[in-house]
A and B are shown apart, each in its own frame.
Chain A
Amino acid sequence: AQSVTQLDSQVPVFEEAPVELRCNYSSSVSVYLFWYVQYPNQGLQLLLKYLSGSTLVKGINGFEAEFNKSQTSFHLRKPSVHISDTAEYFCAVRSSGGYQKVTFGTGTKLQVIP
């Protein structure tokens, strides 16, 4: 079984400040990890993914995430946020074997304050 924990339900941050959205996962096998963004009344858009290789993954819109196997974490970071980054962010995990069941976390709402 696999699971994802997003510890913060809401994160307020001032514009141009850095932000970190936390994600921890649990799985008995190797995993693939994802971050998605969901803007109001829209579907999910893939920000970045970790499949293998370098533990620092760069995505779209200036976001990056670091895979830490020992801490079973995959935190999302951005050095300087914009108003347009206000959205809900979901961390997701899929076991490297088996079919494509993706398990999502409960989401973190990022509110960028002008």
Chain B
Amino acid sequence: DAGVTQSPTHLIKTRGQQVTLRCSPISGHKSVSWYQQVLGQGPQFIFQYYEKEERGRGNFPDRFSARQFPNYSSELNVNALLLGDSALYLCASRISADTDTQYFGPGTRLTVL
């Protein structure tokens, strides 16, 4: 079975641009979470979605938004990119909103110049 997939794997943008990252969860998983991992740090929670509803949001500005589609895939959007947005963006899926075990994708490496 396929694991969590993310696209693209790498992305280069310039300041002020907008970016969309995509995530497909494991088949049968209905919840997706997004994390930002800045180089040298641990992942920081951005959003959790379950059944297309936002279930939780971390301490990120409104430039960050996300949505979940009927097939449970998800997109993370970041507007007005800043240099500090350069990071590895990780998506994790779990069977339901309350399941403790989450499975991570390989991430999208975003570089903002």
Scoring B residues 73 to 101 as 1 if CB is less than 8 Å from chain A, else 0, what string do you get? Answer: 00000000000000000101010011011
Question: Contact partner of A100 among B33, B90, B104, B106, CB < 8 A?
Answer: B33
A1-30 CB contacts (< 8 Å) to partner B = 4
Question: Contact partner of B98 among A100, A102, A104, CB < 8 A?
Answer: A100
**Chain A count of residues within 8 A CB distance of the other chain:** 24
Chain B residues with CB under 8 Å of A104's CB are 35, 42-44
Whether the Cβ atoms of B104 and A45 lie closer than 8 Å is: yes
Whether the Cβ atoms of B101 and A49 lie closer than 8 Å is: yes
Question: Contact partner of A101 among B40, B45, B106, B107, CB < 8 A?
Answer: B45
Whether the Cβ atoms of B4 and A43 lie closer than 8 Å is: yes
CB contacts between A and B, total, < 8 Å = 61
Whether the Cβ atoms of B55 and A100 lie closer than 8 Å is: yes
- From B3, which residue of chain A is reached at the shortest CB distance? A43
- From B104, which residue of chain A is reached at the shortest CB distance? A43
Chain A residues with CB under 8 Å of B55's CB are 99-100
Residue in A34, A43, A103 whose Cβ sees the most chain B Cβ within 10 Å: A43
- From A91, which residue of chain B is reached at the shortest CB distance? B42
- From A100, which residue of chain B is reached at the shortest CB distance? B48
Whether the Cβ atoms of B4 and A100 lie closer than 8 Å is: no
A76-100 CB contacts (< 8 Å) to partner B = 90, 92, 94, 99-100
Whether the Cβ atoms of A99 and B97 lie closer than 8 Å is: yes
- From A92, which residue of chain B is reached at the shortest CB distance? B42
Chain B residues with CB under 8 Å of A44's CB are 43, 90, 92, 104
Give residues in B with beta carbon < 8 Å to A: 4, 31, 33, 35, 40-45, 48, 55-56, 58, 90, 92, 94, 97-98, 100-107
